[in-house]
Amino acid sequence: AAGVIQSPRHLIKEKRETATLKCYPIPRHDTVYWYQQGPGQDPQFLISFYEKMQSDKGSIPDRFSAQQFSDYHSELNMSSLELGDSALYFCASRHRGGVGKNIQYFGAGTRLSVL
Amino acid sequence: DQQVKQNSPSLSVQEGRISILNCDYTNSMFDYFLWYKKYPAEGPTFLISISSIKDKNEDGRFTVFLNKSAKHLSLHIVPSQPGDSAVYFCAASAINSGNTPLVFGKGTRLSVIA
């Protein structure tokens, strides 16, 4: 079965650079979530989209922005990168009208390292 | 403040025995709970969930128990297998309040010893 696809898997950037992370949800899933997991930490919710509109906003810095496109894929844009942005970034998708209520399915993540 | 707490960072269990992972929450608005398993270099994999209208949900070797009055849930794995060794995250959401993002605990690392 198709899963959530994230690219790239690894990304190395320098301070003050920009980065773009991509997420392709499971087909027919209409909601996408972004989470950030720092070293030894639990995943923290950043932002979500439902039917291409921002749905919820969590602890996303102002330097970050995201959007969901007409094909339902989503991109997380990160600017003025800081050392503290080094983390695993997970995307999850969900079918809002699905039987499985709020089961979110996660991608393998993008490991961002800011040097 | 941590709204979902997994107070045991690690747990070791003999193969074939029961693994019990615990999770406590503080937000009484949470009404849907999930357990995820995570291997290194992979994303969290959904295991099992439970709605607040139930107190037990079972799926094969995995059973989740929910005690709403104590704001406590637990995941039982019986029998435990070496392949179950992973980090287990408890997560919660408040769906009926329209709040669907998951709030995670810090995880418990389970080691199943052969």
pLDDT digits (tens, 9 = 90+) for B15-57: 999 999 999 999 999 999 999 999 988 899 999 999 999 999 9
| Whether B42 and A104 lie within 8 Å, measured CB to CB | no
Hey, what domains does chain A have and what are their CATH numbers? 5-114 (2.60.40.10)
Amino acid at A98: G
Query: Rounded to an integer, what distance in angstroms lies between the CA atom of residue B3 and that of residue A3?
Result: 29
Residues of A within 8 A of B104 (CB-CB) are 42-44
Q: Which residues, at least 6 apart from A110, have a Cβ–Cβ distance to it below 8 Å?
A: A6, A7, A8, A9, A10, A11, A21, A88, A89
According to the model, what pLDDT value does residue A54 have? 93
Residue of B nearest to A93 (CA): B101
pLDDT digits (tens, 9 = 90+) for A15-35: 999 999 999 999 988 899 999
Contact partners, residue B1, CB within 8 Å, separation at least 6: B26
Per-chain mean pLDDT for chain B: 95
Q: Which two tokens stand for residue A1?
A: 């079965």
Nearest to B101 among A42, A48, A100 (CB): A48
Give me the pLDDT at residue A100, please: 58
Share of chain B above pLDDT 70, in %: 99
Find, in chain B, the residue whose alpha carbon is nearest to that of A32. B101
A33 in contact with chain B, both atoms CB, cutoff 8 A: yes
Question: Looking at residue A2, what is its pLDDT?
Answer: 79
If one counts the domains in chain B, the total is 1
pLDDT of residue A99: 56
pLDDT digits (tens, 9 = 90+) for A58-113: 999 999 999 999 999 999 999 999 999 999 999 999 987 655 567 999 999 999 99
Structure tokens at B56: 């037990």
Which residues in chain B have their CB less than 8 angstroms from residue A1's CB? Answer: none
Which domain range does residue B105 map to? Answer: 4-113
Q: What CATH number has the domain bearing residue B34?
A: 2.60.40.10
Sheet holding B72-77, edge to edge: B4-5, B19-25, B72-77, B62-67, B56-59
pLDDT value, residue B95: 82
Give the chain B residue nearest A94 (alpha carbons): B100
A59 touches chain B (CB under 8 A): no
